[in-house]
Amino acid sequence: MNGRVAALAARDGVVTLLALAGLLAWDASGLDLTVARWVGGSTGFAWRDAWWASRLLHDGGRWAAWALLAALVVAALRTPTAPARGPTRGERWRWLAAMGASVVAVPALKRFSTTSCPWDLAEFGGTARYLSHWRLGVADGGPGHCFPSGHAVAAFAFFGLYFLWREHDPRRARGWLALVLTVGLVFGTAQLLRGAHYPSHTLWSAWLCWVIHVAADRIRRTPRLRPRPA
């Protein structure tokens, strides 16, 4: 592992740990419910069925993500095995696999979660009581299956584009990273205003997608053990 690659790996580790510390501090603060109360009330959430939030950013965002994923598959199929410049075909498929793992893993965690959405809380017109998502296995009286945010993955799964390009074109990689973070936060804000998620739901989705990609990067750099010749 050369010096630049080692520096990138070290930076990935620092970012991962700092983000984790920030998330745990946010969870401990109890600000999720406070923020939900800023945008919701006893009659629910005013923007729950707003066209721009439910149709444009939720449904439209999901379809845009699938379209981008399809375009990346086509690009991988058309890329030469060893192009003169840019990522190889193998690199493109490797990071497509990491993106696919994000798309599968986070919604799978959500499926087993007992945490209900803000709009399911009794104080917002539902039936649930507020419980931390760390109260694993404890029912809150609502339908559950709301943590972490599945919709945010429609943006954060594309962290793979940053990892794909950062050793070939750092400027392009930073551009993808900025775009993914911006779109993910826009999606998360829309879901917050609708009452579909707390801020932590979006932030944990981002962290989980990031960790999946950091792990994929570390795995691809781990030397494979080769059997000794007889």
pLDDT at 81: 83
The pLDDT of 197-204, averaged and rounded, is 98
Task: Report the alpha-carbon distance of residue 151 to residue 197 in Å, rounded.
Answer: 10
pLDDT category at 1 given cuts 50, 70, 90 is: low
Distance between CA atoms of residues 114 and 138, nearest Å: 7
In whole numbers, what is the pLDDT of the chain averaged over residues?
A: 93
State the pLDDT confidence band at 228, using cuts at 50, 70 and 90. Answer: low
Quickly tell me which residue has 């401990």 as its tokens.
28
Taking residues 92-113, report their average pLDDT: 96
- Of the candidates 207, 200, 206, 197, the residue with the CA atom closest to the CA atom of residue 146: 197
Please state the rounded mean pLDDT for residues 5-31.
Answer: 93
pLDDT at 48: 96
Output the pLDDT for position 223: 64
- CB burial of residue 131 (10 Å; 0-12, 13-18, 19+): middle
Which residues neighbour 147 within 8 Å (Cβ) at sequence distance 6 or greater? 109, 110, 113, 115, 133, 200, 201, 204
Residue 141 pLDDT > 70: yes
The model's pTM: 0.93
- Segment 93-107 mean pLDDT: 96
